[in-house]
A and B are shown apart, each in its own frame.
Chain A
C-alpha cells in the first residue's frame, strides 16, 4: 500500500493534439531548412571573435585595472603623502605603506611626509577601487591594465617604482558610444 494516493497530485498537462506522422515529418523538414538558413547567416555575418593577444577588448574609462601612483606634473613630486588611508580602506589588506619625513635635502612628496615603502600585493587585490576613493590627494588611481599574470607570487607585489612608472599602454580604451 502506498503512503498516500498519488492520483490526486497528478496534473494532466494540456498539450496540443499530436501531429500525424506526415505532418510531423513535414514540419521537421521545414524547421530543418529554417535551421540551415540560420546557421548559414552566421557565415555571412563573419566571426565575432576577438583575436586576444593581438587584439584586445577595449575597456571603459572607469574600468578598474592595475593601480597607478601619480606625480605632480609641474614639480615632479609624488602626490602620495604616506597617510595610509588606502591601506586602511583596503578590504583585502593588500597595501602596505611605510611613511617617512620629507627633509629639505630629500624632498619626495608635496606634503610633510612621503611613502618610503608603498607596495600593493596584486595577488590579493580585489580591484574594488576603495583605495582610490579613500585617497585625499588622488595619488592612487585604478589604471586600465588587466594583464598581470606572472610566474611567481613575489613578482606580483608591485613596489612604488613600478606603480609610479608610466605604464605601457597595452589596453585600448573604449571610444564614445562603442
Chain B
C-alpha cells in the first residue's frame, strides 16, 4: 500500500520563507564553487592544473567570468523571436531551482521551539514533482534553440527534445523499483526506509539505469549531443551571450545538483550514515552535501573519460538497452516485493 507523506506538524509561514531563502542561497553559493571544482578536477584528469590564476587556487575564476558575462552587450540574432529568446533561459533556471524544493537535506529538527524539516517541502508525490519539472525544463532548451533562429541552435534543441523524452522514460522506470520497495513516494519516507540498507545494493540495476539516464537528462558527457561543441558550435545556446548564457550554465549545474541529490536520496540513503553512526541533526545537511559532491565527482570523472556518443547510438542505447533493463528491474522488484 502506498502511504502519503506524513506531515504531522505545522510550520509557520516565516519558517517556510527562511527555509526557501536558505536553500536558494546555499545552492547558488555552491554553484560557482562546483563550476571551478569541475574545471580543476577535469584538469587533473587530463594531467593539467585547470584554472589556478584568479584568486587563491583559482577560486575566484567563476566570479571573474560572471563579471565578464554580466558586462557583455545583450544582443540577439535578427531572425530570433524576441520574447521567447528572453524567456527560455528563465524557464530553464526556474525549473532547475524549483526541483530543489523537495530535496531532503535532513530530518525534522527542533529549532527555536519549532519543528522544522530540513527540506523545502515534503510532498507526497516526491519524484513525480522532479520529473514534472524536468519535463518543463525541456521547454527551456527547446524554446531557446528554436527562438534563436539559428540552424545550430535548432538542431541542438531538436536533439535535446528527442534525448530528453527517450531518457526520461528509463529514468522514471528505474526509480519505480525504489518506490515500490520503500512503499512511499515521499522522499523523506524513502530515506527513512533505507535505514537498514541503502537502496543502491538491492536496486543496483535500477541505480545504473538511473545514473546513465541522469547523464542524458542533464546533458552531460557522454550524452551532451545537445551542446556538441564539435559539430553544433554550442547547441541550443549558440546564439546566447552574457547573462542568459550564464542562466543556462547555472541551470545545467543546478540540474546536476538536483540529479545528484535525487540519486543520493533514492540510492545512497540521504542523510543517513553507514555503520550505525548517528550524528546530531545539524550534521545532516553536510552529509547530504558531501554525498552530492561525491556523485558530482563521478559525473566529472565520466565526462573526463567517455567520448560523446553518436546520435543513433544514443537513441538505440536508450530504447534498446536502458528501457528493457529498467523494465526488467521493475518487474523483478515488483515480484520480489509482492511475494
Contact = CB atoms under 8 A, between A and B. Distances in A.
Interface of A: 21, 25, 32, 35-36, 38-40, 42-43, 45-49, 51
Interface in B61-88: none
A47 B45 CA distance: 9
Given A36-B305, A42-B44, A42-B47, 4 more contacts: A35-B306, A39-B305, A43-B44, A48-B47
Interface of B: 43-49, 301-302, 304-306, 320-321
Contacts of A25: 321
Give the dominant DSSP class at A's interface: helix
A137 B44 CA distance: 51
A60 to B, nearest CB: 24
A47 B321 contact: no
Given A21-B321, A25-B321, A47-B43, A32 B305 contact: yes
Contacts of A49: 47-49
Contacts, number: 37
A175 B81 CA distance: 63
A174 B322 CA distance: 55
B320 A21 contact: yes
A39 B304 contact: yes
A29 to B, nearest CB: 9
Task: List 5 tightest A-B contacts by C-beta distance, closest first.
Answer: A35-B305, A39-B305, A49-B48, A39-B45, A43-B44
Give the dominant DSSP class at B's interface: helix
Contacts of A47: 43-44, 47-49
Contact of A45 (B47, B302, B306): B47
A176 B305 CA distance: 37
Given A21-B320, A21-B321, A39 B48 contact: no
A67 B281 CA distance: 70
Contact of B301 (A21, A36, A45, A51): A36
Contacts of B302: 36
A146 B304 CA distance: 34
Nearest to A35: B305
Contacts of A21: 320-321
Residue with the highest number of chain A CB atoms closer than 10 Å, among B49, B301, B305, B306 = B305
Nearest to B302: A36
A21 B43 CA distance: 35
Contacts of B43: 47
Contacts of A39: 45, 301, 304-305
Given A25-B321, A47-B49, A38 B44 contact: no
11 contacts: A21-B321, A35-B305, A36-B301, A38-B305, A43-B45, A45-B47, A47-B43, A47-B47, A47-B49, A49-B48, A51-B49
